[in-house]
A and B are shown apart, each in its own frame.
Chain A
Amino acid sequence: MALHDGREQEDFLLEGAVRGERACLEALVERHQNMAFMVAMKVVRNREDAEEVVQDSFMRAFGALHKFTREARFSTWLYRIVYNTALTNIAGRKMNLVDVCEQQEDLPELSVKELSSDLLNIEDQRKFVQLALAKLERDDALVITLHYIGEKNIAEICEILTLSKSAVKMRLLRGRKQLQEMLEGILKKETRNLL
């Protein structure tokens, strides 16, 4: 029912956006901007570039909204545009690989397992979770982000990343395992908090 309502609400917003209604356009931007930003960040690994990618993608998507057939969900279609724009962005940067490697080297070693998780405050936990995500391979991190944070199913992830079903499943499994290993300490603490 909630999904149905969500879809209806999305349709309503899309119709308004096609008519050029300000409120609907703003609502769609607000709804999808953060997830689009995360997708872009996973590819370009740089805040400024990610914001630029998101800006370009939204302009492209809204410009082609009349071509959107609604076979897929709007978010799936939008994130695919974001992913492709981000890929174009890094392809345009000749120094891209060097940038990414440098950024990876800048990240401190994760030692959550060794740390006493009780000593970690919320901000530290946030930092460690994001570092753990950054340590994953690009596509693994994308699959994990889209599945857990974006609540996308396997079929939708396949469509966004143009990967096969088995590839997505494999990346999801691998990413999940790596993350669980890296975040074992925090996960244990959260379990205690939940109980």
Chain B
Amino acid sequence: MKDQKEEDRRLGWLLKTYGVQTASTVSTQRLKESVVAAYGATQTTKISSGSPCPWVARAIAFIFLLWMISFVYFLWPISIKREVAISVLSFILGLWTVILWLRRSQQIIFLQ
């Protein structure tokens, strides 16, 4: 029984020392990169969709939109001054760009 255990131990040692097969470095690197790229990206979407942030963002956007519609409806600024309309549109575009930029930088942080 003791001999059998000893032989078993020796076989285990031999297999661990000489029986290990390893994947090539290229495939290891490729695997790491694909896992990080695919899984990291998926997770980012998952986390942001499950967090309260989109609801807050939607509520703010909705209030902002209502305010804009009422502003345009009651004051009709385009008829008074073209600059007002341009500045409002620039503000919306600017805000949109900032939101997109923030979202992208958040994704990069998750990937690192």
List the B side residues contacting A4 at CB < 8 Å. none
Q: In the complex, what distance in Å separates the CA atom of A152 from the CA atom of B38?
A: 29
Contact with B along A156-195 (1 / 0, CB 8 A): 0000000000000000000010011001001100110010
Q: In the complex, what distance in Å separates the CA atom of A55 from the CA atom of B13?
A: 29
Q: Is B79 an interface residue (CB 8 A)?
A: no
- Smallest distance from the beta carbon of A65 to chain B beta carbons, Å? 8
- Smallest distance from the beta carbon of A75 to chain B beta carbons, Å? 15
List the A side residues contacting B24 at CB < 8 Å. 47, 51
Known: A38-B20, A125-B18, A145-B19. A59 touches B38 (CB 8 A): yes
Q: Is B87 an interface residue (CB 8 A)?
A: no
B interface: dominant SS: helix
* A55 lies within 8 A of B21 (CB): no
Contact with A along B19-37 (1 / 0, CB 8 A): 1111110011011101110
* A22 lies within 8 A of B112 (CB): yes
Contact with B along A57-92 (1 / 0, CB 8 A): 011001101100000000000000000000000000
* B18 lies within 8 A of A20 (CB): no
Most chain A beta-carbon neighbours within 10 Å: one of B14, B18, B36, B43: B18
Report which of B8, B15, B23, B27 forms a contact with A149, defined as CB distance below 8 A.
B15
Report which of A17, A54, A133, A144 forms a contact with B31, defined as CB distance below 8 A.
A54
- Smallest distance from the beta carbon of A24 to chain B beta carbons, Å? 10
What is the size, in residues, of chain B's interface with A at 8 Å between Cβ atoms? 36
Q: Is B110 an interface residue (CB 8 A)?
A: yes
* B36 lies within 8 A of A22 (CB): yes
- Smallest distance from the beta carbon of A27 to chain B beta carbons, Å? 10
* A63 lies within 8 A of B19 (CB): no
Q: In the complex, what distance in Å separates the CA atom of A26 from the CA atom of B39?
A: 11
15 contacts between A and B (CB under 8 A): A20-B40, A20-B42, A22-B111, A25-B36, A29-B28, A29-B35, A38-B20, A55-B27, A55-B31, A62-B38, A63-B38, A129-B14, A130-B21, A183-B11, A190-B13
Q: Which residues of B are interface residues toward A (Cβ below 8 A)?
A: 7-8, 10-16, 18-24, 27-28, 30-32, 34-36, 38-44, 46-47, 110-112
